[in-house]
Amino acid sequence: MADDYPKVDRVMGGAAGWISIAFPSILFLYFLGLLPQIALGPQVHGIDWVPSLGINLSVLLDGLSMTFVLLITGIGAAVTLYSARYLGQHPDYPRFVSYLLMFMVGMLGLVLADNLIMLFVFWEITTIASYLLIGFNADSAKSRRSALQALLVTGTGGLILLGGMIVLGNVAGTFQLSEILTQGDMLRAHPWYLAILLLFLAGTFTKSAQVPFHFWLPNAMAAPTPVSAYLHSATMVKAGIFLMARMNPALGGTDAWFWILTLFGGVTAVFASVMAMRQTDIKQVLAYTTLMALGTLTMFLGAGTHYAIMAAMLFLVVHSLYKAALFLMIGIVDHATGTREAGVLGGLSKAMPLTGLAAALAAISMAGIPPMVGFIGKEFMYKAGLGLEGFGAFWVTIMAFAASVMMFAVGGIVALKPFRGDLRPTPTEPHEGPWPMLAGPLVLGALSLIFGLVPGVLGYYLVGPATHAVFGEVREVHLYLWGGVNMALILSLLTFLAGWLVYRRHEAIRTRLAAFEARNPVDFDAGWDRLLEGFKAFAAWQTRLIQNGSLQRYMAVTFGTFVVLVGGTYLIKGAFRSGLSLTTEGIHPVQWAVLGLIAAGAMLTVWTHSRMTAVAAMGVTGIGVALIFIMFSAPDVAITQLLVEVLVVVLVSVVMLRLPYLPRRSKATFRAGHAMIAGGMGLVTTFLMISVLATDFDRRLTTFFEAASYPEAYGRNIVNVILVDFRALDTFGEVTVVAIAAIAAFALLRGMSTRRKPEEES
Amino acid sequence: MQSLILTTTTRLLAALLLMFSIYALLRGHNLPGGGFIGGLIGATAFILYTIATSVDEARAALRIDPSNLAILGVGVAALAGLGAGFAGDPFFTGQWLFLFQDGDSYIPLSTVLVFDIGVYMAVFGGILTLVFAMEQEI
């Protein structure tokens, strides 16, 4: 599967490969060096970016971000090394690397951000980069669809999240996370709390694929295997978990938080573990176990006790280690045998002993068997669950138990079954993977073992500081392998027993689930397609309604809307009563003449039957207006108006010359309708102008520009100084629009002529 | 429709209009004028030339494609804004250089002028893109 492309002769991906390996490795070492400092307390650094909006490029490095940074760069190094060998000969490998690095930068920025807006920017970078990565095999329709689905689901969630961030920022009075996190009590009591919470959770649940937004994640397996390993172990999907953990001191600890997170998390975990049993493709099995892990993490973050958060942070590390190793292992098996079907693979341990070793280490950790760190993770989850009160304890413990049983069984399916027993025929002859691909899974698997044997190191440097950051206050974190005989250990033993039974019967269970799935009417993935179809139909309907291509109708709608909205506001606000005065006093005879010219031009435009006359008459009206500008000493505006009028007449007559004469008489109703809109437009504008003039003219701006123009901008022409200096950014926007509009019109006209030409020839 | 009178006078008028457009551009900071007006006047020169001769001749006389000129103008305007960054000021803060200062007489040079030249090019190029396209394609 990974081999179906024309190969380019490149060792380890060439320069792109080495750069991609160096980037995360160097960062990993750098942050590793900072570890002792961060274990003692968080650090904040920053520079101003948009100070007027409170948006700064500032970094918050505490236990939580440190844990994530090390996972992102550490697993990133393993994944880039792996991909250099796995995809290094792919013709588009440099493109792949740039997406991967862009994603990595997005993730690092996300977890290090101390500013909500900055966090959001990086959040969206990961969304876009993951779209590009999932759709890397762009010639496959399936992979394009999966990429778009991931983009739309997580992108929609991201926009909702932005809403939540803005509300939160306004309530807290700052966008700095380090300041927001200290205001937890105020935020939880605030009337907007629930709104903020729901908006945030919409973002994190879509990103971290909680039910019912889970369907994009298994589809995202269309990505190349190293991408799956990276996105679904340490990064992308954990971004939602990260944000929930990050916001815990500010938003956590309420009933709403507890129930929403534990319910959604629990349902996701159990739903995913059932779905994992259903799959035959090992990569899909792993995809669903990722969902399960995300559900479990959400559930324990929701539970919110010190123990629960410690369990969540520990499991976060545990899961990243074994999941990345397993995904990478699947890639090697796929590479070597040409298949990922669980039913086909078997007896690979002889041909691929090192791959088998890595798989075994990771899977034993996943199954939660001592002395792996996975065992400690599971023990702490049980302890945390049992430590809760009331129904919560029951719910969380049961859900964690169910998920752990399935993880045990899945560990057997993905890592035991393919390697044990007799060697079965596979599409290609199995052989051991090359070292760059083996290094990552082996090191990660070894770490699962080492951390299990010396859990104190992990507790002191990572899990402890991370728990402090999430829980909000400092309490001792002590990790240990053997906690004596207690309830958690008994549950663990029960887990092994139940897990073993499920593993033994997993093929029967899969057949049952497949039969059930065939009858199941609820299919989220198909529902998604229907939703998109619905959107498309709606968009087509409203385009037909609003944009039917008739310029007359566009104008009628635009001006009609103006009349109704402005006129309506005018009536409702009772602006008529506020002392309107109409006086003709002080109007010079020349001005009367100009007014007559304008009126005559307008009337001629309406009455004439010749388009040319109409255009010229409109020009007369415009030039009349320009004359008025001159009389009231606004030469710049007048010159511009004059030039624009001339240009309009020229341009329109160029077009008009090709059009036939107007019909002698348009329909009476048509004319009446348009007359009403035009008359309404005139009346509303007139009354608007009169009301504007009736209020006192606010001269503050004029005075400012008059005073500041020369001393500050060295110019005496205020209009020009405003255009090119005080409000240069606006002008810049305008010229950009001019250029784009011209080029767009050019393209449109080009299109018309190329469409017409073939007809002329025939 | 070719008119000898129009073609002959246009040669003169177009040249005058172009010079006048530069004049309007340069005086804009202190007196009526500026990049926008200058660009419009400059465009009129070429429109006149187009009407008097043909689009192809006007294009040949312009030498550079007007849409390129428009985009170049936007680029020049953006660069003028970026200049402020080197002085540590916010985007688009005008930077001034007074050459040959002798009492009250000097030659003022500024990024503001560069910006206005960008505006001139964008308007000039934009309008001509449109006019050429209309004359040619319709």
Token pair 């920022």 is at which residue? Answer: A169
Q: Please tell me which residue of chain A has the smallest CA distance to B48.
A: A650
Q: Are A459 and A479 in contact (CB under 8 A)?
A: yes
CA dist B52 and A217 (Å) reads 65
CA distance A591 to chain B (A): 23
pLDDT of residue A167: 93
Q: Are the Cβ atoms of A735 and B73 closer than 8 angstroms? A: yes
Q: Are the Cβ atoms of A732 and B81 closer than 8 angstroms? A: yes
Q: What is the pLDDT of residues A179-204, one digit of tens each?
A: 898 888 888 998 999 999 999 999 99
Q: Are the Cβ atoms of A644 and B112 closer than 8 angstroms? A: no
A549 pLDDT higher than 80? no
The more confidently predicted of residues A45 and B131 is B131
Quote ipTM for the complex.
0.89
Q: Are the Cβ atoms of A739 and B118 closer than 8 angstroms? A: no
Contacts of A739 in chain B (CB under 8 A): 67, 70-71, 73-74, 122, 125-126
Residues 31-60 of B with CB under 8 A from A: 31-37, 40-41, 43-44, 47, 51
A609 pLDDT higher than 80? no
The pLDDT confidence band at residue A576, using thresholds 50, 70 and 90, is low
User: Is residue B112 within 8 angstroms of chain A, CB to CB?
Assistant: yes
Token pair 């701006």 is at which residue? Answer: A701
Tell me phi and psi for residue A647, to 5 degrees.
Answer: -60, -40
A663 pLDDT higher than 90? no
The conformation of residue A306, written as its DSSP 8-state character, comes to H
Secondary element (H or E) of residue A48: strand A43-50
- Taking the alpha carbons of A204, A209, A210, A213 in that order, is the dihedral positive or negative? positive
Contacts of B118 in chain A (CB under 8 A): 735
**Cα diameter, chain A:** 108
pLDDT of residue A581: 64
Q: Are the Cβ atoms of A640 and B123 closer than 8 angstroms? A: no
CA distance B79 to chain A (A): 11
**Both structure tokens of A515:** 């039969």
The pLDDT confidence band at residue A44, using thresholds 50, 70 and 90, is confident
Q: Are the Cβ atoms of B67 and A647 closer than 8 angstroms? A: no
pLDDT, average across residues A426-438: 82
Contacts of B37 in chain A (CB under 8 A): 636, 639-640, 643
A75 pLDDT higher than 90? yes
Q: Are the Cβ atoms of A732 and B31 closer than 8 angstroms? A: no
Determine the residue type at A479: L
pLDDT, average across residues A650-662: 72
CA distance A542 to chain B (A): 30
Q: Are the Cβ atoms of B116 and A724 closer than 8 angstroms? A: yes
Q: Are the Cβ atoms of B137 and A752 closer than 8 angstroms? A: yes
A302 pLDDT higher than 70? yes
The residue among A738, A752, A757 with the most chain B CBs within 10 A of its CB, best to mutate, is: A738
**Both structure tokens of A327:** 């995904």
The pLDDT confidence band at residue B35, using thresholds 50, 70 and 90, is confident
User: Is residue B110 within 8 angstroms of chain A, CB to CB?
Assistant: yes
pTM: 0.74
**Both structure tokens of A368:** 């939660």
A430 pLDDT higher than 70? yes
CA distance A705 to chain B (A): 14
CA dist A6 and A8 (Å) reads 7
CA distance A660 to chain B (A): 14
Burial A493-510 (b: 16+ CB within 10 A, else e): eebeebbeebbeebeebb
Q: What is the pLDDT of residues B79-133, one digit of tens each?
A: 888 877 777 777 777 777 777 777 777 777 788 889 999 999 999 999 999 888 8
pLDDT, average across residues A321-345: 85
A48 pLDDT higher than 90? no
Give the count of Cβ contacts less than 8 A between chain A and B.
149
**Both structure tokens of B55:** 């689009």
A666 pLDDT higher than 70? no
Q: Are the Cβ atoms of B29 and A717 closer than 8 angstroms? A: yes
The more confidently predicted of residues A145 and A345 is A145
The pLDDT confidence band at residue B18, using thresholds 50, 70 and 90, is very high
Pick the most confident of A235-244, A569-578, A653-662, B24-33.
Answer: A235-244
The conformation of residue A113, written as its DSSP 8-state character, comes to B
A347 pLDDT higher than 50? yes
Structural domain boundaries enclosing B12? 4-137
- Closest CB from B37, B74, B134 relative to A735: B74
Q: Please tell me which residue of chain B has the smallest CA distance to A743.
A: B67
pLDDT of residue A762: 37
pLDDT of residue A754: 61
Across chain A, what does the average pLDDT equal? 85
Burial A118-132 (b: 16+ CB within 10 A, else e): bbbbbbbbbbbbbbb
Q: Are the Cβ atoms of A745 and B133 closer than 8 angstroms? A: yes
Q: What is the pLDDT of residues A216-230, one digit of tens each?
A: 888 888 888 888 888
Q: What is the pLDDT of residues A497-548, one digit of tens each?
A: 888 888 888 888 888 888 887 777 677 788 888 999 999 999 999 888 877 7
The pLDDT confidence band at residue A755, using thresholds 50, 70 and 90, is low
Q: Please tell me which residue of chain B has the smallest CA distance to A750.
A: B137
Between A174-183, B49-58, B88-97, the lowest mean confidence (pLDDT) is in: B88-97
Q: Please tell me which residue of chain B has the smallest CA distance to A644.
A: B40
Residues 63-92 of B with CB under 8 A from A: 66-67, 70-71, 73-74, 77-78, 81, 91-92
Contacts of B123 in chain A (CB under 8 A): 735, 738
Q: Are the Cβ atoms of A731 and B122 closer than 8 angstroms? A: no
A760 pLDDT higher than 50? no
CA distance A320 to chain B (A): 43
Q: What is the pLDDT of residues A13-31, one digit of tens each?
A: 788 888 989 999 999 999 9
User: B10-14: long-range contacts at Cβ-Cβ below 8 A with a sequence spacing of 24 or more?
Assistant: B10/B48, B10/B49, B10/B51, B10/B52, B10/B53, B13/B45, B13/B48, B14/B45, B14/B46, B14/B48, B14/B49
**For B61, what's the count of Cα atoms within 13 Å in the CB-facing half-sphere?**
20
CA dist B115 and A695 (Å) reads 37
Portion of chain A with pLDDT greater than 70, in percent: 95
Q: What is the pLDDT of residues A55-74, one digit of tens each?
A: 778 888 888 999 999 999 99
Number of domains into which chain B is organized: 1
- Taking the alpha carbons of A278, A282, A284, A289 in that order, is the dihedral positive or negative? positive
Q: Are B91 and B85 in contact (CB under 8 A)?
A: yes
CA dist A119 and A105 (Å) reads 12
The residue among B36, B54, B117 with the most chain A CBs within 10 A of its CB, best to mutate, is: B36
Contacts of A420 (CB under 8 A, 6+ apart): A346, A347, A349
Judge if the upstream peptide bond of residue A371 is cis by omega within 30 degrees of 0. yes
Across chain B, what does the average pLDDT equal? 86
CA dist A566 and A553 (Å) reads 19
A491 pLDDT higher than 70? yes
pLDDT of residue A260: 92
pLDDT of residue A753: 62
